[in-house]
Amino acid sequence: MADISGRTGFLWGRIIMAKQINVFFVTLVLLIGVCVLFFVFDAEYLSKRIHWMVPVVAGVLLTFTLLFLFRTSFSDPGILPRATGDEALFNDRGADNNVDYTQNTGNFRNPPRTKDVVVNGQTVKLKYCFTCKIFRPPRASHCSMCDNCIERFDHHCPWVGNCVGKRNYRYFYLMIVTITVLLHLYPRF
């Protein structure tokens, strides 16, 4: 199995989240707290004065917002596996074909910071990550909070307690959209 251990929590092999989860719980309390205040104080008034569907729509939007929040928070953002011991040794030794990697001679050069690779006739520049000991694909970056390289890294979001990358970007975007629509339902005084 590939090594994707950084400072990322794995629960039962299905939930991936950064170790700094305190802000995630603040996000939950704020989101649920504001919605509880809405349902306690405003929902009855709005259902009588505007339309009875306003609280129903707010409840549905809250459900979808929480669903997308949990999906963003607990899913793999696109963690790239770290190099195995042999791969790391191969990269650290400078990728010389004539070197016996089982011998620990100690004289090796640092790996190059970039490597040009031809993909479908196009030259692509890969950057080397000294922490993960891999050449990262384009748009991948190393997250200092999670200590992992993330494919199509957008940012580390402390509000969801996870990085936003290739595999959870759509859920993050849908969470932002549903939160925006949900906040526009609340009356402005």
Active site residues: 157
Is the dihedral angle over the CA atoms 129, 135, 136, 138 positive or is it negative?
positive
Among the listed residues 175, 180, 173, 159, the one whose alpha carbon sits nearest the alpha carbon of residue 63: 175
Type and span of the H or E element at 45: helix 43-49
Helix axes 169-185, 53-74, angle to 10 degrees: 150
The C-alpha R_g of the chain, in whole angstroms, comes to: 23
Distance CA 95, CA 73 (A): 38
Distance CA 34, CA 27 (A): 11
DSSP 160-177: TTEEE-TTTHHHHHHHHH
Type and span of the H or E element at 125: strand 122-129
